[in-house]
A and B are shown apart, each in its own frame.
Chain A
Amino acid sequence: MVIEGETGSSRYLTDYRYGSHRLLVAVFCRIADGATPSVALLDTGSEWCVLPPEVAQESGFDLMPDPATAPLHTRFGLIYGRLERVTITLIADQGHDLDVPATCFLSEDWPGPLVLGWKGFLERIRFSVDPNEEPFYFASL
C-alpha cells in the first residue's frame, strides 16, 4: 500500500541483532547512480549521512579531512573528515524509488555502517513509519 501523496514505501528492517546489540530501523537504498543496493541505518540522531570509507573510496571520493568541515561527534570521540554530496536512492517495494541528494560525512576513521542522518537526508524528504506492518513511507517535499 502507498499512502496518498507518498512516492513509495518499503518494509524496513527492525530489531535484528548484531552480537549482543540490536539494530533498530534500517532501510534498503542505493548509493550513487546505478550502484548495487545496500542497507542503511535510519538515525534521526545523526546530523549527516555517514558512508563507510570503503564505499566512499569505491565511489571515487577523497577521504582527506577538510579543515572547513567540523568534526563528527561519535561514541568513539571526534572523527575528522569531509562533507560531500552523494545521491542516495530509497528503494520502493511499492510505488516509486526516490533519489535524494544527501550530505554525507566521509572519514577513514568511521567504523560503522552506512547511516542516513537528519540534516543530511531525512529533513529533505517526507517520511513515516508504521510499526504494525513495518512499512517505511517516503516522498519528496
Chain B
Amino acid sequence: MAVHEVVPSSSQEAPGDPEEALLRLRDFLEVSDTRGAVAYLRELAGRWPDSERVRHYLNVLDPGPARVLHGQRSRSFDGERAWIKAHAHEHPGRWIALYGEELLASEPTLVAVREILRQMPGREDALVFFVPGTDWW
C-alpha cells in the first residue's frame, strides 16, 4: 500500500482565516491520516481559539473514549434476529420496525415507520432499520 505524507501546514503559506485553513484538513483526510488531522486541528485551535468550526472538527475527529453504561440492560433481540434471517430479504429498500418476531411496519421511509410506531403504545423500543435495495450490494 502506498504511504502518503501530508506536508505540514507550517511549511506552506499560512492561511489567513480558519475557513481557508480548514480546507487543508481535507488533505489529511484523503490519505486517512486522522492523527495528522487532529494535530493540525490543534495547531489551528491554538491560532483561532474562538473558531467554532475548528472546535467542531476537533470534537468530531478526537471525540474521547468509549463509556461503559453500568447497570443498563437492553431486552433480548433473539426474536428480531430470527425474523431478519428469515424475512429481511423480502423487504428490499424498505424501513422495517420489529418487536420480537412481530413485523410492526415495512415502509419506504423512516418517517412513515415512526408515524406507525407513534400509534402503538408499548412498542417505543421496537427495532428500526433499513434493508438496502438489491442494487446496493
Contact = CB atoms under 8 A, between A and B. Distances in A.
Contacts of A47: 32
A96 B22 CA distance: 38
Most chain B CB within a 10 A radius of its CB, from A36, A58, A96, A139: A36
A18 B57 contact: no
A85 B85 CA distance: 31
Most chain A CB within a 10 A radius of its CB, from B34, B53, B60, B95: B60
A28 to B, nearest CB: 5
Interface residues of B, number: 55
Interface in B11-45: 22-23, 25-26, 29-30, 32, 34
A125 B92 contact: no
A101 B64 CA distance: 7
Interface string A53-66: 01100100000000
Nearest to A15: B85
Interface range for A: 35 or more
A85 B57 CA distance: 9
A43 interface: no
Contact of A19 (B53, B76, B89): B89
Given A28-B127, A67-B23, A112-B132, A16 B66 contact: no
Contacts of B88: 16-18
Contacts of A141: 65-66
A116 interface: no
B71 A96 contact: yes
A52 B72 contact: no
B77 to A, nearest CB: 5
B57 to A, nearest CB: 7
Interface of A: 7, 10-11, 13, 16-21, 28, 36-39, 47, 52, 54-55, 58, 67-70, 83-85, 89, 91-93, 96-103, 111-114, 119, 124-125, 139-141
